[in-house]
């Protein structure tokens, strides 16, 4: 049986996306998403980091501005390491799908037609 590794989150970008390139020229776009939840009277915010690889990183980077509302589907991968005798871990998310709902930065209509991209073919692993 194959396990399923896909998570979907909707939230707002906490900062402008950052575009970098590997030594071989592959684009990497990193961004952080604030995901809000409410339990009773208490609000909880999770700040999650995402990465987009390849040609779609180039294509969507210009639209991923602070405040942009998006829905993202991603694969989760846990990284583990040891430093100074202490064990550490972090879950990283690699984007496989993205819908954009609008941008607060542009000052234009915050509800344009949602756009969707699927990136599964560009993930390097």
CATH of the domain at 29: 2.40.50.140
Is 51 inside a domain boundary? yes
The pTM of the full predicted model, rounded to 2 decimals, is 0.76
> What are the DSSP calls for 55-100, one per residue?
HHHHHHHTT--TT-EEEEEEEEEEEEEEETTEEEEEEEEEEEEEEE
Is 92 inside a domain boundary? yes
Q: What is the pLDDT of residue 2?
A: 84
> In the chain, how many domains are there?
1
Q: What is the pLDDT of residue 75?
A: 96
32-81 pLDDT per residue, tens? 999 999 989 999 999 999 999 999 999 899 899 999 999 999 999 999 99
70-113 pLDDT per residue, tens? 999 999 999 999 999 999 999 999 999 999 886 554 444 444 34
Cα gap 91→29, rounded to integer Å: 17
Is 21 inside a domain boundary? yes
Is 103 inside a domain boundary? yes
Is 1 inside a domain boundary? no
Is 78 inside a domain boundary? yes
Angle subtended at Cα 89 by Cα 2 and Cα 121, rounded to the nearest 5 degrees: 40
Q: What is the pLDDT of residue 102?
A: 64
Tell me how far the alpha carbon of residue 54 is from its chain's centroid. Answer: 14
Q: What is the pLDDT of residue 101?
A: 86
State the pLDDT confidence band at 121, using cuts at 50, 70 and 90.
Answer: low
9-18 pLDDT per residue, tens? 999 999 999 9
Token look-up 């990284």 returns 79
Beta bridge partners of 92: 77
Query: 105 φ, ψ to 5°?
Result: -70, -35
Per the structure, the complete domain to which residue 31 belongs is given by 7-122
* Torsion over CA: 62, 71, 8, 118 (sign): negative
Is 2 inside a domain boundary? no
Rg (CA), the chain: 16
């Amino acid at each position: 049986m194959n396990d399923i590794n896909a998570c979907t989150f909707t939230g707002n970008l906490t900062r402008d996306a950052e575009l970098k390139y590997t030594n071989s020229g592959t684009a990497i776009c990193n961004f952080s998403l604030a995901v809000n939840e409410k339990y009773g009277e208490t609000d909880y915010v999770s700040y999650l980091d995402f990465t987009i690889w390849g040609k779609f990183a180039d294509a969507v980077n210009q639209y991923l501005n602070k405040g942009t509302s998006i829905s993202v589907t991603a694969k989760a991968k846990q990284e583990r390491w040891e430093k100074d005798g202490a064990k550490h871990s972090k879950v990283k998310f690699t984007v496989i799908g993205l819908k954009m709902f609008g941008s607060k930065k542009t000052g234009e209509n915050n509800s344009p037609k949602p756009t969707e991209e699927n990136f599964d073919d560009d993930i390097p692993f």
